[in-house]
Chains A and B, each alone.
Chain A
Amino acid sequence: MVSMSRKYEIVYIFDSALEEPQVNERLTRFHELLKSADHPEPITDISRWGKRTLAYPIKNREQGNYVVAQFETEQRLLDEFERALKLDEGVLRYLVVINEGLATVPTTADRIERDSDDDEAEVGLEGDEEAE
C-alpha cells in the first residue's frame, strides 16, 4: 500500500493575546504531528501576517494573529493534527485546504488595486456612451 501524500495549506488564527514564543511553541508542536518517514520536514513555506483586525469578533477577540503555512504530508496524519488544533484554546480558528499552488501572501494585491482603478474608469466611460 503506497501512502497517500498531498500538498496542503493551512491558515491559523491565533489569539492575539499570545506572545511570539507561545505561538512558535504551538507551531513547532503542531508541525511535529505532520512528520513522517517520507516527509521528515513537512513544512515547505510559512508566512506570518502578524496581528490584524478580524472582520467580526471570534471568541470575543477583535484581533487575530495570522500564520499561513504550506506543507506536504500523508492524509492519515491530518486527523490527529486537526484534533490538536481544535483542542488548543489559543487557536481561534484554522482552515486546512489543498494547496492549489497559491502564494502564502496574496502578491497580486497591489497590482489588482491599480488594475481595478483602470477597469472602473473604462466601464464608466462605456456606460456613458451606451446610455446616450
Chain B
Amino acid sequence: MMRRSKTCPICEMGIRIVDYKDERLLSRFTTERGKILPSRLSGMCARHQRQLSRAIKRARHLALIPFVKAHSR
C-alpha cells in the first residue's frame, strides 16, 4: 500500500507540466489495473493531479498506456 507522502511527488521531481508522452512517469501513478491513482494515495497536489488525469487520458488514446491492464497472477 502506497503511503501518502507529505509533498507532491511531481513537484519534488521539479516537473512543471506533466507530459502525456512520458508513459513511464504516468504508469507510476496508475493502479495495477491501469486506473488513475487517487491523489489521496499519491499525495499529489491538486494542480498536478488535474494535469496527470488529462495526461493519462491522452496517453491512453495514443496507446502508450492501456485503458485496462490484464490481471497477472
Chain A residues in contact with chain B, CB under 8 A?
11, 13, 54-56, 58, 64, 68, 93, 95, 97, 100-106, 108-109, 111-113, 115-116, 119, 123, 126-127, 130
Interface size class of B (residues with CB under 8 A): 20 to 34
Instruction: Tell whether B32 is near chain A: CB-to-CB under 8 Å.
Output: no
Chain B residues in contact with chain A, CB under 8 A?
2-3, 5, 9, 12-13, 15, 17, 19-22, 24-25, 28, 58, 60-67
- Tell me, in angstroms, the Cα distance from A102 to B12 when the chains sit together: 18
Contacts of B67 in A (CB 8 A): 56
Contacts of A95 in B (CB 8 A): 58, 61-62
Q: Are B62 and A108 in touch, CB under 8 angstroms?
A: no
Q: Are B63 and A119 in touch, CB under 8 angstroms?
A: no
